[in-house]
Amino acid sequence: MIDSHCHLDHEPLFDNLDAVLKRSKDAGIQKLLTICTTFESYEKIKQLVKKDDIIYGTYGIHPHEAKNDKITSKKIIDEINNNEKIIGIGETGLDFYYNHSDKVDQIKSFEEHIKAAIKLNIPLIIHSRNADNDMFDILNNFKRFDLKILMHCFTGSKIFAKKLLKLNAYFSASGIITFKNSIDLQETFKFLPLEKLLIETDSPYLAPVPNRGKKNEPSFVKYTAEKLASIKDITTEHLIKTTTTNFNNLFN
């Protein structure tokens, strides 16, 4: 298995890394992708990717932080070129639900990440909340560049998913698909092509059933895998093998 999105720099994961890694390996995890959200976050991620062969990282600024951590495509490119274990750009995107940063700052930041992704030809890890139309319009503007798009913790509608498929996007399922009130989301993942799916924890957040309410960790990704396999009406083994292949194909 691969946890395609976790935050090992956040507590309680960072201070308990050895135990977290052991449980991850015991669960059958081959790779962990720990996701950057701020400049401060990246300082920890540079340490984390040296800790173990299974840990890889990304570089980028979360939309919540767009007004505070001003990013340029050049800075993203320079940082990623300096570390071979940094394999993705993000977490970037748009979040108009919380509006911790205003729309203008978020869009400018997002576009800087996109420009870097075009230059480096590596995946964009995208956060999208209450921003479907703006998100699609911006990505569609760059369609000619064949962006590598990963919609992290996807919770969008089937209509939005269909539009994103036209851009060759991948979609990552989180523990949310295990929640009782996620029927519409489960139907969307039932519709999405298996070859476009990944799994993630977003740990330490969004722990899946049966651990909902606890601090999440990468080893819990097995519960999301089991639920997604059930939704797709395939074996868990088939689901794990395919999502692992999908990750490796996307991240080359």
Which letter, b or e, does each residue of 77-100 get, where b requires 16 or more Cβ atoms within 10 Å of its Cβ? bebbeebeebbbbbbbbbbbeeee
Residue 99 pLDDT level (bands cut at 50, 70, 90): confident
Residue 243 pLDDT level (bands cut at 50, 70, 90): very high
Rounded to an integer, what distance in angstroms lies between the CA atom of residue 43 and that of residue 152?
22
Q: What is the pLDDT of residue 113?
A: 98
Global pTM value = 0.96
- What is the tens place of the pLDDT at every residue in 142-165? 999 999 999 999 999 999 999 999
Mean pLDDT of 95-113: 93
Sign of CA dihedral 240, 162, 91, 132: negative
Say yes or no to pLDDT of 18 above 90: yes
DSSP per-residue string spanning 37-66 = -SHHHHHHHHHHHHH-TTEEEEE---GGGT
Tell me which residue range forms the domain holding 17: 2-250
Q: What is the pLDDT of residue 159?
A: 97
- Count up the domains in the chain and report the number: 1
Rounded to an integer, what distance in angstroms lies between the CA atom of residue 148 and that of residue 165?
12
Say yes or no to pLDDT of 100 above 90: no
Residues 6+ apart with CB under 8 A from 138: 94, 107, 110, 111, 114
Which residue from 8, 60, 65, 62 is spatially nearest to 34, judged by alpha carbons? Answer: 8
